[in-house]
Structure 1
Amino acid sequence: MSLSTFKETLKPCKNNPSASSSSSSSFSSISHNFDSSINPRKPPKSSLSQQLLRLQHQESTFYLPRTQLKSPKTETLLGPEAEDNDDEEEVEEEEKQDRIFRPKMESFQFDHTGPFEPLVLSLPGEISVVQVPASINCRLLEHQRAGVKFLYNLYRNNHGGVLGDDMGLGKTIQTIAFLAAVFGKDEEADYLTSLRGNQPEKNGCVLIVCPTSVIHNWENEFSKWAPFSIAVYHGPNRDLIIDKLEAREVEILITSFDTYRIHGTILSKVQWEIMIVDEAHRLKNEKSKLYRAILEIKTQKRYGLTGTIMQNKLMELFNLFEWVVPGCLGTREHFREFYDEPLKHGQRSSAPERFIRVADDRKQHLVTVLRKYLLRRTKEETIGHLMMGKEDNVVFCAMSDLQKRVYQRMLQLPDIQCLINKDLPCSCGSPLKQVECCKKIVPNGVIWPYLHRDNPDGCDSCPFCLVLPCLVKLQQVSNHLELIKPNPKDDPDKQRKDAEFAAAVFGTDIDLVGGHTQDESFMGLSNVKHCGKMRALEKLMFSWLSRGDKVLLFSYSVRMLDILEKFLIRKGCCFSRLDGSTPTGVRQSLVDDFNSSPSKQVFLISTRAGGLGLNLVSANRVVIFDPNWNPAQDLQAQDRSFRYGQKRHVIVFRLLAAGSLEELVYTRQVYKQQLANIAVSGKMEKRYFDGVQDCREFQGELFGICNLFRDLSDKLFTSEIIELHEKQGIEHGDCESSKQIFTELQKCFLPQKELTNTSAEASQNSKPKDAGKEPVEPVLEELGIVYAHRNEDIVNYGPGIQGDKELDTNLRYTVQHSLLVVARKRKSEAVAGSKNTIENAASSKMRKKSQYSLLAQFMGMGEVDFSKWLLSANPEEREKVLLDYKRRKDKIPNG
């Protein structure tokens, strides 16, 4: 339809004079706009964005008198959508201006964006200019522009890579901007294309593989940022999508992991230009069907997006990069021998000095290689100045007396005793171990007979097939005793088995828990008497909600969420809930309601269902009720609130049952996080543990079946490891830092009024010994908290950037004041001692040399051999030699 024809259709009917007169003003306005829009070049799609960008320093324009707002200049700047009909009433015009002007300005915030100009990616002198359109570039943050350049450099060199930014830094947006540049999605530069002539067609389209839950998110982001033709290969009508691909009608194809795993052979036949895998850490297992299927893609331009590059093992790192850039890390055996083993053994707390040196060299070499194909940025490095900050507190809650008795009874079950004693000599007199002889099966057990109800002779894995079911039961006891009772939703056989198990572990306390069947009483389930974590949570929640805090409460168990829901109802809390049964279409409305409604105080979320895609920036307290073996699960849960746009400082509380298996779960998390920091970022981490993953010779305190089922009820396992590290002096000043952390944690746990009342008692009851527990006992013991620390101070080498930037005002003042006092004291000591330094240096050196010679003589070695022995000895051996030498020296004067 021509422009003149379109105008004719808009003319008022001549048979209706009133209509003609009433519409004349409107028509003249429309006609004027169309006449002025006749231009050989199409106006840019985001011209409104460009114009608003020019106005960011002229906000007064939006508050001019109404007579000035109607001026032609103002109408031109705001575009035709801001024009009002002259015949409208004054009140309607004012409402329309408010609806158009102010919300528009609020929705386009350009404080942190760049100028409205394209981002050129191609090298100077290249004929074909590749650039990110100005309409996209002006909305990118600086770190996102760097990410786009990184992706394009990989593309230009015809190989893949990994964009490993933290969650919430916009990996999706960076990818779309990169694709828009590669495919020339720049409507404002179309006239340049016509001048250059027709460009050659692309080799193919882009395949994006992602979790099912974020497919719609990818679609929405593409619609907001760039005009691509997109298709989703998921669900019915997949054959029609393949026909469109062959006809070159699709530029971007999005599919899920499960769909690709099943139909990967069909998709691998398509000639893809680029393949992108979102949440690429899903490619960690080389034996999975998904990994084998995804290797069939022929293109070399493979890009992975993930914020958790390594989760559990170093070999996961190899599997990911073997798909991204095949051969960049050598063969699998080479990687295991050259990187995996040295890095793991060099992290042992008792590792010889030569092991540490080798590990440091291999770490630097690995980081250098990965830097070519990996871009890794954290929130603290990029948008930390735009965020309110986060503290990650790990809280060890005392189990109730009943929980402790049930936990002890479970460790005494024949099933677990069989696993604990597996390496002992068999009682029948055979030279074989128990696991190889009479104790391979457990017919008198509680769990084993049900697992082998169809095979009384056992299976090939016996008795190790019992490990996982027993671990699950121990974790259930640590969280809530109701979890080990039969679930009415299970089949009758499983319910009978669970009833027998509950009766066995409850023993004489069965009446205290209401029998071995599930408690249907609302008051019984919401009672916190027999659950240590819920007792602590009850007092913490009262403190938080009285101050207007908003809480995210995570648990991976749906049954635990049911119990917590009844607990919140009993306490009168207004809450929302999201788990796997929540329809996908309802989830975003729940999130929006929680963020906008002041009355919604708590959000109950399943860790599995809520780990991705939720943006709950209004919350400032995050509680992870039960830890996961995979540290990435807990970190993803924290990031639901700790992301760009957060309203307040976020404080995370991970609740652990002290003296239970959960302490081992957490320490393994620390171990995995440290290995990831070493391998990916090249950081130097504290060496807490003597165990080595997948090494039977060095199982230490973390690995092996005996450690999993060890009785930790008589000790604070985690705190003892940390305190031992401090006593050895590996990190000077850590003990003082721990005291400060504990003191400030009290401010997080209790309101200021309660803290003031207990401060006097804390000072009276303080004891010089047991420094790690000193600040906790007076205040936190009443809450059932026996120990607490900050995760970032344990995992990272010393206080990290995050730990400094994200402290609240009170904590920052405390830390700065403490550091100032220490600095002044050290300075005064240095000034006083500087006078005697020169005179004492020579004599001190001679004394040390003579002491060293005496020690070497005591060991029957020369000084050189003794030096070699010192480098290879562990701290325990060195300490033993010093004690023996001291005893002998003390005995000599006494004859």
Structure 2
Amino acid sequence: MSLRALKESLRPCSTLKPSSSSSITQTQPYSILRESDSLFPIHRKPPKSSLSHQLRRLDDSLTQTHSKTLQQQQQQQEEKEEEPEIKITKFASPKLPQFQFDHTGPFEPLLLSSHGEFPPVQVPASINCRLLEHQREGVRFLYGLYKNNHGGILGDDMGLGKTIQAIAFLAAVFAKEGHSTLNENHVEKRDPALIICPTSVIHNWESEFSKWSNFSVSIYHGANRNLIYDKLEANEVEILITSFDTYRIHGSSLLDINWNIVIIDEAHRLKNEKSKLYKACLEIKTLRRYGLTGTAMQNKIMELFNLFDWVAPGSLGTREHFREFYDEPLKHGQRSTAPDRFVQIANKRKQHLVAVLHKYLLRRTKEETIGHLMMGKEDNIVFCAMSDVQKRVYRRMLQLPDIQCLINKNLPCSCGSPLTQVECCKRIVPDGAIWPYLHRDNPDGCDSCPFCLVLPCLVKLQQISNHLELIKPNPKDDPDKQNKDAEFAAAVFGPDIDLVGGNTQNESFMGLSDVTHCGKMRALEKLLYSWFSQGDKVLLFSYSVRMLDILEKFLIRKGYCFSRLDGSTPTNLRQSLVDDFNSSPSKQVFLISTRAGGLGLNLVSANRVVIFDPNWNPAQDLQAQDRSFRFGQKRHVVVFRLLAAGSLEELVYSRQVYKQQLSNIAVSGKMEKRYFEGVQDCKEFQGELFGISNLFRDLSDKLFTGEIIELHEEHGHETEQPEEVNPSEEETSSSVLESETRLCNKSVRDATSKPDLVDLGGADIEEEELTDLRSNPLQGEGDDAILPRKGPITRTMSKRLQEDWARAAEEGPRVLMNLRVDF
């Protein structure tokens, strides 16, 4: 090939121009390539050259490109500096929700010791910058007790970070700095710290320690206890975490350890001085004992003495002194008919007790600390009318020989002897439906007969109040127990046995999910329908796993998407269930066992909480509510407690109010209205709350709560009024039991018209208003009621609640008991 031909072949295709038909034929392939270049560009292979030349040329091109980029960036920066206004919206981080905030503080340590003290005791800057102000105050409080070789109680509300405060305090004491030890070679070696907590939160403690600092943490639980003990003796453990049960059983092996600090989480577990756990904890060899609890007192004032006598022995005197000087005056001063002299003495003793407790107790509420950062919580009591079948079964239960023996125990014996029935012929109940099975091994009865029947009978009454299926035999029980439960069910069902599907467990899905014979499920059905139309998410708590099974079938039948957590849920799966519920918009309901889910769960995606069955201990219900009302909640939380009207559950609720009032008086020094005549543990003043005769009263045709409050109104006792609060404080109230209760109009009426959602008025209601309300009750169909509250004083029904009930009324008939309550 000639040189000319070679140059022509190397000429770019675009320069080829056909001059004749022959040339067109020769250049046709090139024209085809030109047409396809736009779709599939073909790069010509570069001519061969030396490798160094190619690299040099490549480097020059990159350098030129980089310099051009730098020039452009510099020019853009100069233009930005010249602009008077800088618009950074496109590059800003996503806007935070309204009630979420950056709680980081200055990156500097929090000094706890006095100035000039060496070495200084301080919370590391890496921890302090992430603490809220109330948490810093809590750390200072704990260190003040530690410095004076005392113990104490951190009694903040649930959800305020007591665990974090304890870890920050330990980090200061153990001289931690970031992820390394401060002056490790010069710091005095500290004795280890012991943490005793519920089994369900052991791993939560371990996780929090790993997040906040670099402690050497070991868990004394399970099969590896001996290995951990060896590490303790070798001084290789700084923090030892164990459970209540483990310490109760194996705590004696840890008595030889010199503990620097002992912290008990959920310290109210030490309320009973006769328990083995309390006695085991008394033997711990350190005075630096600290308790973490949001409910320092749950049932009795004497629980305060037991708790504080452990953390600060002798701080409240002797047990008898505390009982006579504080317990009795406070209880009798709270009687609705207490003389003025009793009330004045109780007020003085209350102030004295609060002043003493203040030295060893730091308690803050959500309203005082982060209330302004949350949307608030509203508590409601829903009195659900039992179905007709439930009422008949409830009455038959009260007529059983077992309960009649308890009710008539103090009546003269029918045999003519001067002794009472319980002392003579009616001590045992061989013809009863419950007693024979309890005493199958001792036909002559036990030492506590017939009072051994009280608890089993109460359980049965509560089961009837919730769902009739609960009193039927449980397939998981032994055959003898199932046979006896079947006999009991047949006795109380009577002629209605076919209506409820027999005396054995119903296997029908449609039967179990039917709401016809359960008053609470009827009310729940209407509430859920209203909430889900608004996109709400619901936490549904029940104390009974069998009740959860029934509710689960009900949700499946309705087509609702739900999650479930109970005692059978593996510990390692619980957090994933929580995370899935919080993140998944499709999950509408979370079924939770009150026992398994009362602690350690953070379910802030839910804004509706339903407590299906109340607990005798008010703290159990409050802890359940708090799973949703925590820091991070972005919506207004509404709580609904379902009570079977006219049943034992009304008495349970009244006792909750009584206990919470005493707690507010003894711990917080609040002023509480005097509604109840009964005095706990006092036979002379059993009133309407205490004693067997009150427990087994037939309330099916009455509204027990209404009677108590109306009696209070009739007597017109002068009672202490709670302090006025701002509307913002009303929105952030933490408990329905912390407020005053007023009930108007107890009569039960049936109507078919839509409910008249009137303004519920304030706490101070004129007599004319009361008369008008009694003559014009809220109308509805049936006798269920919803009792709203929004704080210590509720002035109006919330707009959202009005919309809920109005929508439910439009969708179909609903049940509304004509009760009117302001909390």
Instruction: Return the TM-score normalized by structure 1.
Output: 0.73
- The separation in 2 between residues aligned to 1:335 and 1:404, in whole angstroms, is 44
- The separation in 1 between residues aligned to 2:416 and 2:755, in whole angstroms, is 62
Which letter maps to 2:470?
Answer: L
1:235-283 alpha-carbon deviations (Å, 9 max, x no partner): 1121111111111111001011111011111111101100000000000
- The separation in 2 between residues aligned to 1:168 and 1:498, in whole angstroms, is 42
Structure 2 equivalent of residue 788 of structure 1? 787
User: CA offset at residue 776 of structure 1?
Assistant: 5.9
Q: Which has the larger radius of gyration?
A: 2
Structure 1 equivalent of residue 398 of structure 2? 411
Q: Please, which of 114, 117, 126 is the counterpart of residue 135 of structure 1?
A: 126
- CA-based RMSD of the aligned residues comes to 3.3
User: CA offset at residue 456 of structure 1?
Assistant: 1.1
| TM alignment of 1:231-380, pairs within 5 A | 231-380=218-367
The answer to whether residue 537 in structure 2 is matched with residue 550 in structure 1 is yes
| TM alignment of 1:68-87, pairs within 5 A | none
- The separation in 1 between residues aligned to 2:567 and 2:624, in whole angstroms, is 15
- The separation in 1 between residues aligned to 2:358 and 2:770, in whole angstroms, is 47
Give structure 1 regions of 4+ aligned residues with deviation exceeding 4 angstroms: 65-68, 101-106, 187-191, 731-734, 759-763, 767-776, 806-813
CA spacing shift, 1:257–1:711, aligned 2, 3 Å: same
User: CA offset at residue 759 of structure 1?
Assistant: 6.0
Q: Given that residues 391 and 807 in structure 1 are in contact (C-alpha distance below 8 angstroms), is that contact kept between their aligned partners in structure 2?
A: no
CA spacing shift, 1:386–1:361, aligned 2, 3 Å: same
Structure 2 equivalent of residue 777 of structure 1? 778
Structure 2 equivalent of residue 465 of structure 1? 452
User: CA offset at residue 758 of structure 1?
Assistant: 3.3
The answer to whether residue 187 in structure 2 is matched with residue 199 in structure 1 is yes
Name the stretch that deviates more: 713-722 or 539-548.
713-722
Q: Please, which of 506, 527, 539 is the counterpart of residue 514 of structure 2?
A: 527
User: CA offset at residue 125 of structure 1?
Assistant: 3.1
- For these two proteins, the number of residue pairs brought into alignment is 691
Gaps in structure 1 of 5+ consecutive residues: 1-16, 26-64, 72-96, 746-756, 814-895
- The separation in 2 between residues aligned to 1:162 and 1:661, in whole angstroms, is 35
Q: Please, which of 596, 603, 617 is the counterpart of residue 616 of structure 1?
A: 603
Q: Given that residues 208 and 255 in structure 1 are in contact (C-alpha distance below 8 angstroms), is that contact kept between their aligned partners in structure 2?
A: yes
Structure 1 equivalent of residue 166 of structure 2? 175
CA spacing shift, 1:315–1:761, aligned 2, 3 Å: closer
Structure 1 equivalent of residue 495 of structure 2? 508
Structure 1 equivalent of residue 428 of structure 2? 441
CA spacing shift, 1:177–1:460, aligned 2, 3 Å: same
Q: Please, which of 225, 230, 244 is the counterpart of residue 212 of structure 2?
A: 225
- The separation in 2 between residues aligned to 1:579 and 1:685, in whole angstroms, is 36
Structure 2 equivalent of residue 429 of structure 1? 416
- The separation in 2 between residues aligned to 1:431 and 1:200, in whole angstroms, is 75
Which letter maps to 2:188?
Answer: P
User: CA offset at residue 208 of structure 1?
Assistant: 0.4
3-state DSSP class of the match of 1:652? strand
- The separation in 1 between residues aligned to 2:474 and 2:535, in whole angstroms, is 36
- The separation in 2 between residues aligned to 1:490 and 1:189, in whole angstroms, is 55
The answer to whether residue 89 in structure 2 is matched with residue 120 in structure 1 is no
User: CA offset at residue 377 of structure 1?
Assistant: 0.5
User: CA offset at residue 127 of structure 1?
Assistant: 2.8
Which letter maps to 2:784?
Answer: I
3-state DSSP class of the match of 1:316? helix
Structure 1 equivalent of residue 87 of structure 2? none
CA spacing shift, 1:761–1:690, aligned 2, 3 Å: closer
Structure 1 equivalent of residue 140 of structure 2? 149
Q: Given that residues 788 and 797 in structure 2 are in contact (C-alpha distance below 8 angstroms), is that contact kept between their aligned partners in structure 1?
A: no
Q: Please, which of 638, 648, 654 is the counterpart of residue 667 of structure 1?
A: 654
1:431-453 alpha-carbon deviations (Å, 9 max, x no partner): 11110001101111111111111
User: CA offset at residue 585 of structure 1?
Assistant: 1.1
Q: Given that residues 113 and 142 in structure 1 are in contact (C-alpha distance below 8 angstroms), is that contact kept between their aligned partners in structure 2?
A: no
- The separation in 1 between residues aligned to 2:474 and 2:150, in whole angstroms, is 51
Q: Given that residues 164 and 374 in structure 1 are in contact (C-alpha distance below 8 angstroms), is that contact kept between their aligned partners in structure 2?
A: yes
- The separation in 2 between residues aligned to 1:384 and 1:712, in whole angstroms, is 39
- The separation in 2 between residues aligned to 1:221 and 1:317, in whole angstroms, is 29
The answer to whether residue 651 in structure 2 is matched with residue 655 in structure 1 is no
Name the stretch that deviates more: 240-249 or 205-214.
240-249
Which letter maps to 2:271?
Answer: K
- The separation in 1 between residues aligned to 2:530 and 2:477, in whole angstroms, is 38
- The separation in 2 between residues aligned to 1:651 and 1:773, in whole angstroms, is 27
Structure 2 equivalent of residue 396 of structure 1? 383
CA spacing shift, 1:324–1:772, aligned 2, 3 Å: farther
Structure 2 equivalent of residue 42 of structure 1? none
Which letter maps to 1:713?
Answer: S
- The separation in 2 between residues aligned to 1:787 and 1:111, in whole angstroms, is 38
1:202-239 alpha-carbon deviations (Å, 9 max, x no partner): 2x110000011101111111111111111111111211
Structure 2 equivalent of residue 724 of structure 1? 711
Which letter maps to 1:201?
Answer: K
- The separation in 2 between residues aligned to 1:633 and 1:125, in whole angstroms, is 47
Q: Given that residues 776 and 787 in structure 1 are in contact (C-alpha distance below 8 angstroms), is that contact kept between their aligned partners in structure 2?
A: no
CA spacing shift, 1:773–1:114, aligned 2, 3 Å: farther
Which letter maps to 2:162?
Answer: K
User: CA offset at residue 589 of structure 1?
Assistant: 1.0
Which letter maps to 2:186?
Answer: N
- The separation in 2 between residues aligned to 1:226 and 1:490, in whole angstroms, is 48
User: CA offset at residue 116 of structure 1?
Assistant: 1.3
Which letter maps to 1:359?
Answer: A
- The separation in 2 between residues aligned to 1:807 and 1:66, in whole angstroms, is 63
User: CA offset at residue 732 of structure 1?
Assistant: 10
Q: Given that residues 776 and 786 in structure 1 are in contact (C-alpha distance below 8 angstroms), is that contact kept between their aligned partners in structure 2?
A: no
Q: Given that residues 179 and 213 in structure 2 are in contact (C-alpha distance below 8 angstroms), is that contact kept between their aligned partners in structure 1?
A: no
CA spacing shift, 1:105–1:673, aligned 2, 3 Å: closer
CA spacing shift, 1:733–1:309, aligned 2, 3 Å: closer
Name the stretch that deviates more: 770-779 or 389-398.
770-779
Which letter maps to 1:304?
Answer: G
| TM alignment of 1:625-704, pairs within 5 A | 625-704=612-691
3-state DSSP class of the match of 1:777? coil
- The separation in 1 between residues aligned to 2:488 and 2:102, in whole angstroms, is 61
Which letter maps to 2:123?
Answer: V
User: CA offset at residue 762 of structure 1?
Assistant: 7.5
Name the stretch that deviates more: 150-159 or 232-241.
232-241
Structure 1 equivalent of residue 548 of structure 2? 561
Q: Given that residues 609 and 639 in structure 2 are in contact (C-alpha distance below 8 angstroms), is that contact kept between their aligned partners in structure 1?
A: yes
User: CA offset at residue 199 of structure 1?
Assistant: 3.4
Q: Please, which of 755, 758, 762 is the counterpart of residue 754 of structure 2?
A: 758
Q: Please, which of 178, 187, 209 is the counterpart of residue 196 of structure 2?
A: 209
Which letter maps to 1:519?
Answer: N
Which letter maps to 2:473?
Answer: P
CA spacing shift, 1:187–1:444, aligned 2, 3 Å: closer
3-state DSSP class of the match of 2:597? coil
Instruction: Return the TM-score normalized by structure 2.
Output: 0.79
User: CA offset at residue 66 of structure 1?
Assistant: 11
Q: Given that residues 122 and 130 in structure 1 are in contact (C-alpha distance below 8 angstroms), is that contact kept between their aligned partners in structure 2?
A: yes
Q: Given that residues 148 and 177 in structure 1 are in contact (C-alpha distance below 8 angstroms), is that contact kept between their aligned partners in structure 2?
A: yes
CA spacing shift, 1:759–1:213, aligned 2, 3 Å: closer
Gaps in structure 2 of 5+ consecutive residues: 1-50, 60-70, 78-89, 742-752, 760-767, 804-823
CA spacing shift, 1:67–1:409, aligned 2, 3 Å: farther
CA spacing shift, 1:278–1:340, aligned 2, 3 Å: same
Q: Given that residues 266 and 292 in structure 2 are in contact (C-alpha distance below 8 angstroms), is that contact kept between their aligned partners in structure 1?
A: yes
- The separation in 1 between residues aligned to 2:394 and 2:338, in whole angstroms, is 34
3-state DSSP class of the match of 1:619? coil
Structure 1 equivalent of residue 573 of structure 2? 586
Q: Given that residues 465 and 647 in structure 2 are in contact (C-alpha distance below 8 angstroms), is that contact kept between their aligned partners in structure 1?
A: yes
3-state DSSP class of the match of 1:778? coil
Which letter maps to 1:142?
Answer: E
Structure 2 equivalent of residue 824 of structure 1? none
User: CA offset at residue 811 of structure 1?
Assistant: 8.4
